[in-house]
């Protein structure tokens, strides 16, 4: 049996996957990083919380999501950094003057040439601009085209298409039984009465599970640093 | 899942890790990690307890643990440092022991002691996601998140590194406040996932 591949500071891939669950970033400058997603690094790298200070200008240009500020840090320096998240599948994506919205827990890191904004849909973040970002999904990502209705839990993100709307199966709540169901909750539900509906041109990213990444409550101040 | 072919020889494995076997096998409970009375006492004292069984017989034995990834490590006389929870099974010829880890262990929430495996043969490690093997040389020291560390071999010095500064105290921490810094010559096994650690949230 062959031994495992041994990586060192020079053979680690440059901005590419080490294996399906880990991604190596060659850092020379700055990257935005979600807290706790760095598993190892070579070289001189420092991690700075997002707040007032010398990162002010960078944050002003590339980070417009104060609700999420407690979850993000800036990695600064020179070296190679391995990113991973709960052994989920990790992939990098390139945006070329585009926009992509993604579930906040699934985004691991992005280049400061992209700007991060809060999406109108709660729990989602929008990346705008040109650059690379790294995202995780539970199981490989499947790309779909609108028109499509998707389960909210399976949705990872969407690119280039208009913001989705909610869709409810109205049929299910009609009639006598439906009335009882709607008012008392008795009678059970299939769990699939609510979907996100996408229309227009673009791409929808789905993961092959309905297991969500654990979400950090947003809106709290002070973050997890206490 | 790990398949081990046995021809009259034996392996040591974590208790309850057997999922199937073909042929004739006997399973014998070994107390305290299988290194005699002294080892048993040490393990009790250090909290680095390991429930071990000895599997002996002819045929193939299959081991698995919570659908974790299994990584094989070949040892040729060197010493492997691994957390007891990450060790699935070893060749019977390998000696296991305990050693003091200092601050690193306490930061991981794994206690102050770790398990060592020594000798010539193969050991199987479990990790959450396939482990990545990273080489450390004197020119390229490596920093690892305590929650992602699985095991290491070779002549490595570990320091506990913290990036805590006054901003951490006012809630603007860097989120990656603690790392283990490995210096020297050796290999470090890292899993693509982070355990919950005491230091991990800081």
What is the per-residue pLDDT for A80? 92
Q: How many CB atoms lie within 10 A of CB A116?
A: 23
Can the peptide bond before residue A147 be classed as cis, meaning omega within 30 degrees of 0? yes
Distances (CA, A) of B189 to A21, A116, B82, B120, B172: 14, 33, 9, 19, 30
The answer to whether residue A221 sits within a structural domain is no
Closest-CA residue of B relative to A220 is B171
Tens of pLDDT, residue by residue over A124-175, are 899 999 999 999 888 888 888 888 888 888 888 999 888 888 887 766 666 6
DSSP class of residue A147?
A: S
| Residue A55: C-alpha distances to residues A52, A112, B126, B147, B175 (Å) | 7, 11, 40, 27, 16
The reply to whether A11 falls in a domain is no
pLDDT of res. A185: 61
Residues of A within 8 A of B171 (CB-CB) are 70, 221-223, 225-226
Residue B115, SS3 per DSSP: strand
Q: Strand B132-136 vs strand A6-7: parallel, antiparallel, or unpaired?
A: parallel
Beta-bridged to residue A195, according to DSSP, are A167
Flag whether A189 is in a domain: yes
Q: Which DSSP letter does residue B176 get? A: -
Q: Are residues A118 and A184 in the same domain?
A: no
Select from A86, A105, A137 the last residue of a domain. A137
Establish if A109 belongs to a structural domain: yes
The Cα–Cα gap between B127 and A184 comes to: 46
Distances (CA, A) of B49 to A101, A215, B42, B152, B154: 47, 34, 9, 19, 23
* Residues A144 and A133 grouped into a single domain: no
Contact B129 A39 (CB under 8 A): no
Of B71, B141, B148, the CB nearest to A4: B71
Question: Which residues of chain B does A86 touch, with a Cβ-Cβ cutoff of 8 Å?
Answer: 128-129, 193-194
Residue A26 belongs to some domain of the structure? yes
A-B CB pairs within 8 A amount to 144
CA-closest candidate to residue B9, choices B75, B90, B82: B90
Last residue of a domain, one of A137, A168, A201: A137
Probe site for chain A from B146, B167, B192, B197 (most A CB atoms < 10 A)? B192
CB of B1 within 8 Å of a chain A CB? The answer is: no
Taking the C-alpha atoms of residue B137 and residue B132, their distance in angstroms, rounded to an integer, is 16
Domain that holds residue A194: 138-210
Which of the residues A3, A4, A27 would you substitute to probe the B interface, choosing the one with the greatest number of B C-beta atoms within 10 Å? A4
Is A40 an interface residue toward B (CB < 8 Å)? Answer: yes
Nearest to B132 among A49, A82, A223 (CB): A82
pLDDT beneath 50: ranges in chain B: 32-34, 105-107, 109, 165-174, 198-202
A147 and A127, same structural domain?
Answer: no
CA pair distance A91, B78, nearest whole angstrom = 36
Q: What is the pLDDT of residue A134?
A: 92
- The answer to whether B140 contacts A85, with C-beta atoms less than 8 Å apart, is no
pLDDT at A224: 42
**A157 and A88, same structural domain?**
no
User: What percent of chain B has a predicted confidence (pLDDT) above 70?
Assistant: 68
A83 with A52, same domain: the answer is yes
What Rg, from alpha-carbon coordinates, does chain A have? 20
| CB-CB under 8 Å, B176 with A4 | no
Whether residue A217 lies inside any domain: the answer is no
Where residue A44 falls (left for φ over 0; alpha for ψ -120 to 50; beta otherwise) is beta
Residues with Cβ within 8 Å of residue A176, at least 6 apart in sequence:
none
CATH number of residue A111's parent domain: 3.60.160.10
DSSP secondary structure letters along B19-43:
EEEEEEEEEEEEGGGSSHHHHHHHH
* Residues A81 and A41 placed together within one structural domain of the fold: yes
How long a stretch of residues is chain A? 226
How large is the ipTM?
Answer: 0.74
Instruction: List the beta strands (DSSP E) in chain B.
Output: 2-14, 18-30, 52-63, 69-82, 87-91, 95-100, 113-127, 132-136, 142-144, 149-162, 178-190
Let me know whether A73 and A169 are in one domain.
Answer: no
Is residue A59 within a helix (H) or strand (E), and if so which, with residue range? helix A56-62
Examine residue A10 and state whether it is found in any structural domain, yes or no: no
Q: Is the pLDDT of residue A1 over 60?
A: no
Q: For residues A45-71, give the mean pLDDT.
A: 75
C-beta atoms of A39 and B144 within 8 A: yes
Of A7, A10, A36, the CB nearest to B175: A36
B195 touches B108 (CB < 8 A): yes
Instruction: Judge if A28 and A103 occupy the same domain.
Output: yes
- My answer on whether A116 and A32 are in the same domain is yes
For residue B50, the model assigns a pLDDT of 65
**How far apart are alpha carbons B126 and B85 in whole angstroms?**
8
A81 and A38 within one domain: yes
Name the domain count of chain A: 2
How far apart CA A153 and CA A141 sit, in angstroms, is 13
In a domain, A226, yes or no: no
Q: Which residue has the tokens 């230091």?
A: B199
DSSP single-letter state for residue B65: S
**Does A132 lie in the same domain as A170?**
no
Q: Is the dihedral of CA B19, A3, A39, A16 positive or negative?
A: negative
Q: Which residues of B touch A226 (CB under 8 A)?
A: 171
Check pLDDT > 80 for residue A68.
no
Domains of chain B as residue ranges with CATH = 2-190 (3.60.160.10)
Q: Which of A111, A137, A163 is the last residue of a domain?
A: A137
> Using one digit for the tens of pLDDT, what is the confidence trace for A69-105?
777 888 888 999 999 888 888 989 998 998 899 988 8
Q: Is A77 on the interface with B (CB under 8 A)?
A: no
Q: Are the C-beta atoms of residues B33 and B40 closer than 8 Å to each other?
A: yes
- Residues of chain B in contact with residue A87, where contact means CB-CB under 8 angstroms, are 69, 128-129, 191-193
Tell me: do A30 and A102 sit in the same domain.
yes
Query: DSSP class of residue B10?
Result: E
């Amino acid at each position: 049996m062959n031994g495992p591949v041994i990586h060192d500071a020079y053979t680690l891939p440059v901005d590419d996957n080490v294996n399906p669950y880990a991604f190596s970033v060659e850092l020379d400058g700055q990257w935005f990083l979600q807290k706790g997603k760095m598993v190892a690094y070579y070289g001189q790298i420092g991690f700075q919380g997002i707040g007032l200070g010398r990162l002010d200008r960078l944050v002003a240009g590339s980070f417009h999501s104060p609700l999420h500020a407690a979850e993000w840090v800036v990695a600064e320096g020179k070296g190679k950094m391995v990113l991973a998240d709960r052994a989920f599948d990790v992939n990098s994506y390139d945006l070329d003057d585009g926009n992509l919205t993604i579930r906040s827990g699934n985004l691991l890191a992005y280049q400061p040439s992209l700007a991060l904004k809060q999406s109108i849909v709660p729990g989602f973040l929008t990346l705008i601009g040109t650059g690379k970002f790294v995202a995780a999904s539970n199981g490989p990502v499947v790309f779909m085209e609108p028109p499509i209705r998707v389960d909210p839990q399976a949705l990872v993100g969407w690119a280039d298409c208009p913001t989705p709307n909610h869709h409810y199966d109205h049929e299910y709540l009609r009639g006598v039984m439906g009335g009882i169901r709607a008012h008392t909750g008795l009678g059970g539900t299939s769990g699939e009465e609510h979907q996100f509906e996408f229309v227009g041109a673009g791409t929808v990213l789905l993961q092959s599970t309905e297991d969500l990444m654990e979400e950090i409550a947003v809106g709290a101040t002070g973050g997890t640093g206490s | 899942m790990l398949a081990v072919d046995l021809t009259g020889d034996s392996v040591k494995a974590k208790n309850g890790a057997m999922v199937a076997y073909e042929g004739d096998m006997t399973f014998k409970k070994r107390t305290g990690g299988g290194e005699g009375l002294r080892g048993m006492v040490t393990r009790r004292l250090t909290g680095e307890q390991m429930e071990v069984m000895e599997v002996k017989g002819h045929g193939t034995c299959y081991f698995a643990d919570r659908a974790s990834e299994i990584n094989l490590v070949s040892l040729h006389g060197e010493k492997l440092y691994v957390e007891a929870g990450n060790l699935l099974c070893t060749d019977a010829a390998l000696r296991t022991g305990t050693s003091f880890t200092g601050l690193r262990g306490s930061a991981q929430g794994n206690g102050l002691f770790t398990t060592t495996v020594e000798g010539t043969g193969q050991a199987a490690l479990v990790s959450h996601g396939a482990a990545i093997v990273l080489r450390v040389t004197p020119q390229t020291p490596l920093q690892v998140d305590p929650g992602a560390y699985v095991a290491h071999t070779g002549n490595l010095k570990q320091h506990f590194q913290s990036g805590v500064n006054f901003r951490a105290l006012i809630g603007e921490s860097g989120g990656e406040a603690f790392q283990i810094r490995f210096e020297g010559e050796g290999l470090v096994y890292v899993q693509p996932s982070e355990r919950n650690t005491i230091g991990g949230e800081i």
